[in-house]
Amino acid sequence: MVVSALYATGEGAFSKSFVISAVTVTLCSLWPTLINTALGVASIDKDLVNVSKVLKLSPWKKITRLVLPSALPLIFTGLRLSLGVGWMVLIAAEMLAQNPGLGKFVWDEFQNGSSQSLARIMVAVLTIGLIGFLLDRVMFALQSLFTFSNSR
């Protein structure tokens, strides 16, 4: 409603439905990353914090040498969750806002009702699932590049 009220003129670089979809996806996918980042920072080992105090590390060094390496696995977990939630909300927002994309395609095929619609919907659903799986695997590859694990 806020975006509709502020974007009433329709003039701008993006269409109104695109802005509404973008705000919806952002608001829905923000929370897993925010919560996991807070949990990752809060779960830093207290001994490491005490060592950083003894060594009198500057705030920048404390962030780059202690906080980020300790919290990065949970941050990436939140990013992976946010990516999944964002992908699902994007498809739903495309359906509702009638933006071009897989969501609108599925909705149009559902409304079509022809004998081939179910087959097209199933292919679209499998495509949505495959793209979601590939996005998760890409994020997992990035996570394994930037974080340390016991399996390495």
Judge whether 90 lies within some domain: yes
Tokens describing residue 92: 């739903």
- Per the CB < 8 A criterion, the answer to whether 44 and 73 are in contact is no
Stated as kind and residue range, the H or E segment containing 95 is helix 68-97
Domain of residue 87 covers 13-146
Confidence band of 127 (pLDDT split at 50, 70, 90): very high
Across the chain, what does the average pLDDT equal?
A: 87
Judge whether 92 lies within some domain: yes
pLDDT, residue 101, reads: 85
Judge whether 8 lies within some domain: no
- pLDDT(150) > 60: no
Judge whether 91 lies within some domain: yes
Phi, psi at 11, each rounded to 5°: -85, 140
pLDDT, residue 74, reads: 93
pLDDT higher for 96 or 80? 80
Judge whether 47 lies within some domain: yes
Model-wide pTM > 0.75: yes
Into how many domains does the chain fold? Answer: 1
- pLDDT(87) > 60: yes
pLDDT over 70 percentage in the chain: 91
Judge whether 6 lies within some domain: no
- Per the CB < 8 A criterion, the answer to whether 81 and 73 are in contact is no
Judge whether 74 lies within some domain: yes
Q: Is 12 left (phi over 0), alpha (psi -120 to 50) or beta?
A: left
Q: Is 113 left (phi over 0), alpha (psi -120 to 50) or beta?
A: left
CA distance 51 to 31: 31
Mean pLDDT, range 93-99, rounded to an integer: 82
